[in-house]
Amino acid sequence: MKNSWKSALGAAAITVLMASAGAEHSPYAGQQHAAIKALGADEQAALLAGQGMGFAKAAELNGYPGPMHVLQLADALALTAEQKRDSQALFERMRAAAQIAGASLIEEERTLDRLYASKAATREAVDAQLTRIEAVRARLRGVHLHAHLEQAALLTPAQIQRYAESRGYGPVRHGSH
């Protein structure tokens, strides 16, 4: 009798849990009407603005400063007029190239979304589109990573050290650039 009561209580608890789990909304709820399901509005805006979005984190955290932050820290880094000019030009080239690549990435994601929306998605079509998306993503990431390489070449080791400290990274490891 005692075991059947526990079994009944357990079954009731499982039923309640399953019913409530089914009633929960997906974190995607409300996004089904977005023009591009894989990219939120904030991500699209950042891509169109040419923002870094973490694409150059490998460079940034290994002692290769980014041009935007170098310009923001110009006084703390004691940039020369030539360094400021060259860093500004680098930043503008990087942003322009990133905006173009970002717009391309959005369009490739839009194409993937349309593939599914039209019910024309096949393994082959999806794989081909993913190849295009990742090629654009790699090009975009390269824009940001290459800008960090160029920026490091414009600075002295002491400026790179001050940059790392100003950004909260601590000392730059020997041989990191």
pLDDT in tens, 93-115: 999 999 999 999 999 999 999 99
Share above pLDDT 90 across residues of the chain, in percent, rounded to a whole number? 74
What is the average pLDDT across 20-24?
Answer: 59
Distance from the Cα of residue 175 to its chain's centroid: 27
Residue 11 lies in a domain: no
Whether 85 is covered by a domain: the verdict is yes
Q: Is residue 94 part of a domain?
A: yes
pLDDT tier at 171 (50, 70, 90 boundaries)? confident
Spatial CB neighbours of 141, under 8 Å, sequence gap ≥ 6: 55, 56
Residue 18 inside a domain? The answer is: no
Is the distance from CB of 93 to CB of 67 less than 8 angstroms? no
How many domains, the chain? 1
Please give the residue range of the domain that contains residue 139: 34-166
- For the cut 90, the answer to whether the pLDDT of residue 4 exceeds it is no
Tokens of 71: 């310009």
Within a domain: 28: no
Mean pLDDT, rounded, for 79-99? 98
Query: For tokens 């990191």, what's the residue?
Result: 176
Distance CA 26, CA 22 (A): 10
When pLDDT is averaged across residues 123-151 and rounded to a whole number, the result is 98
The pLDDT of 40-45, averaged and rounded, is: 94
Structure tokens given for 160: 């790179």
100 is a domain residue = yes
- Is the model's pLDDT at 91 over the cut of 80? yes
pLDDT bin (cut points 50, 70, 90) of residue 175 is low
Q: Is the pLDDT of residue 173 over 80?
A: no
Q: Which of 96, 95, 103 is nearest to 44 (CA)?
A: 103
- 132 close to 107: Cβ distance less than 8 angstroms: no
Dihedral through CA 89, CA 91, CA 94, CA 95, nearest 10? -110
Is 139 a domain residue? Answer: yes
pLDDT at site 97: 98
Answer yes or no: is 177 within a domain.
Answer: no
